[in-house]
Amino acid sequence: MADFDLASQEGRLEALRRMVTIRAFDEEAGDRFADGEIPGFVHLYIGEEAVGVGTCAALDPDDYIASTHRGHGHCIAKGLDPKYMMAELYGKADGYCNGKGGSMHIADVDAGMLGANGIVGAGPPMATGAALSIDYQDRDQIAVGFLGDGAVAQGQVHEAINIAATWDLPAVFVIENNHYGEGTPVENQHNLDNLSDTAQAYDIPGLTIDGMDITAVAEAVAEARDRARAGDGPTLIEAETYRYRGHYEGDEEPYRDDAEIERWQERDPIASFKERLIDRGELTAEEFDELQADIEAEIDAAVEYAQDAPAPDAHEAYEDMFAEMPPEIERFASAARTDGGRPGGDR
Taking only the tens place, the pLDDT of each residue in 89-106 is 999 999 999 999 999 999
User: What's the one-letter identity of residue 80?
Assistant: L
User: What's the one-letter identity of residue 295?
Assistant: I
Whether the Cβ atoms of residue 236 and residue 173 lie closer than 8 Å to each other: yes
Q: In what order do the strands lie in the sheet with 64-66?
A: 64-66, 143-148, 171-177, 235-240, 206-210
3-state DSSP percent of the chain in helix, strand and coil, to 5: 50, 10, 40
pLDDT confidence of residue 344: 37
Q: Which CATH fold topology does 9-312 show? A: Rossmann fold (3.40.50)
Taking only the tens place, the pLDDT of each residue in 127-174 is 999 999 999 999 999 999 999 999 999 999 999 999 999 999 999 999
Give the C-alpha separation, 339 to 334, whole Å. Answer: 8
Whether the Cβ atoms of residue 233 and residue 227 lie closer than 8 Å to each other: yes
DSSP 1-12: --SS-TTSHHHH
Of the candidates 243, 147, 124, the residue with the CA atom closest to the CA atom of residue 195: 147
Angle between the N-to-C axes of helices 123-136 and 155-166, in degrees from 0 to 180, rounded to the nearest 10: 20
pLDDT confidence of residue 205: 98
Q: Using 50, 70 and 90 to split pLDDT, how confident is the model at 342?
A: very low
Please provide residue 134's backbone torsions phi and psi, each rounded to the nearest 5 degrees.
-60, -45
- Domain parsing of the chain, residue ranges: 9-312
Strands (E), 45-195: 64-66, 143-148, 171-177, 180-181, 184-185
- The residues, ordered by sequence, that sit 6+ positions from 40 with a Cβ below 8 Å of its Cβ are 102, 103, 104
What's the mean per-residue pLDDT of the chain?
Answer: 94
pLDDT confidence of residue 336: 59
Q: What is the mean pLDDT of residues 19-25?
A: 98
pLDDT confidence of residue 323: 73
Taking only the tens place, the pLDDT of each residue in 252-262 is 999 999 999 99
Give the C-alpha separation, 137 to 7, whole Å. Answer: 30
Note the pTM of the prediction, 2 decimals.
Answer: 0.92
Q: What is the mean pLDDT of residues 274-299?
A: 98
Give the C-alpha separation, 244 to 80, whole Å. Answer: 23
